[in-house]
Amino acid sequence: MAIEGFDYQGFAQNLAQQAQELIPKDFNDNQRNYVANTLLNFSLIAGQALNDDKELGFNLDQAMMTTQIIAEWSFHKSVDLIRSEIPQQYWDPIMQKIAGTIFEIAKNSFKQSLPQDQMLQLIEHHVKKTYIDCIGELRQNNLIDEGLMEQAMSQSNIDAMVQQQEQANAENSQQQTAESDVTYPETPSDIPAQNTPAQLAKMPSGENAKVLKLATLALLFQKMKQDKVQTILDRFNPDDASSVIKFMGIPDLNSKVDPYAAMQCLQEIKTNIPSPSGNISTAKIVNRIQNVAQYVERPQLEQMLKLERQNVKRLVFNALDGDYYEMAPRVANIIATHLEDSI
């Protein structure tokens, strides 16, 4: 039975159209067409597979999210392959393996009811691992030389875009007025929407960013017990608390806030508040990473982490020196697990 409301063809076309504006300007027509067509084709294949599979039982949100993640990574890794200068004849097999990896991880993650942030961490880890493994296989079969392999492995369009966004956010933050001057929306239509893939989406700035964060908190609070919500709201600025309560009263709020924009907001909120470690010991995380280093030489470890983000590298190499790089223990635990699975 088809997923009700899931127009995967229209959705895939929409994703491809949005990505057109983000394709690097220095790409020629062949390269631009490859990025756009790859994103479109894999989105269509994934969407149709999800829609037609009677065993999966995906709902609309799960199907759209999986398709959108595949579109996002199809964009980034096709850009990386083009930048790598690896011959085009090898691009499609690599992209097929990446898309298949995402599909399987997303499918299993939803079956196991994994939290969204853990699923995205898993997907990012395995996409990068699959990409590196494919490049390494080309080198092993003498289809590319050492220099081309190094060049290919150094590509990471997603990290480049995140860095650009962070720079833009830093510039925007300098221009923002004091929070007391913010005017809060009275109607749901004022909530800024984001409709691009997760890492392709640009977070709004200034007033819109504040509104989006409050709406995201309202979405979270709608699923919590009201006494706990009230305890949290008591610590808010009265105006902020009033705005959150207004948003919570909107029954279809989740349809007005893009899930990927909301996810980005939650990630930003998490980095700015203390995170309880729960039962996760930071000392144990350090010990686990040090244990991995007993089986992997440092140059090999550096190669494994080459495409990872800077905070991941800092966590690992600080741990080797016996120090814990400050990040949410739950996230650090996932990274340590991925590192153990990679050896």
d(CA 262, CA 260): 5
pLDDT in tens, 126-155: 888 899 899 989 988 999 998 898 888 888
Average pLDDT over residues 62-66: 88
Alpha helices in the chain (DSSP H): 8-20, 29-52, 60-84, 91-111, 116-140, 146-153, 157-175, 206-221, 226-233, 238-248, 259-271, 282-293, 298-304, 310-320, 329-341
CB 316 within 8 A of CB 305: yes
Task: At 280, list the tokens.
Answer: 């996760």
Short-list 49, 47, 52, 53, CA closest to 69: 47
- Among the ranges given (28-37, 61-70, 160-169), the one the predictor scored with the smallest mean pLDDT: 160-169
| pLDDT digit string, tens, across residues 77-130 | 999 999 999 999 999 999 999 999 988 888 888 888 888 888 888 888 888 889
Residue 270 is predicted with a pLDDT of: 52
Tokens of 90: 């090898």
At 93, the amino acid letter reads: P
pLDDT tens-place string over residues 303-339: 878 777 788 888 888 888 888 888 878 778 878 877 7
Alpha-helical (H) ranges within 187-297 are: 206-221, 226-233, 238-248, 259-271, 282-293
Amino acid at 264: Q
DSSP 12-38: HHHHHHHHHTTS-TT--HHHHHHHHHH
The 10s digit of each residue's pLDDT in 255-300 is 777 666 666 666 555 544 444 444 567 888 888 888 888 777 888 8
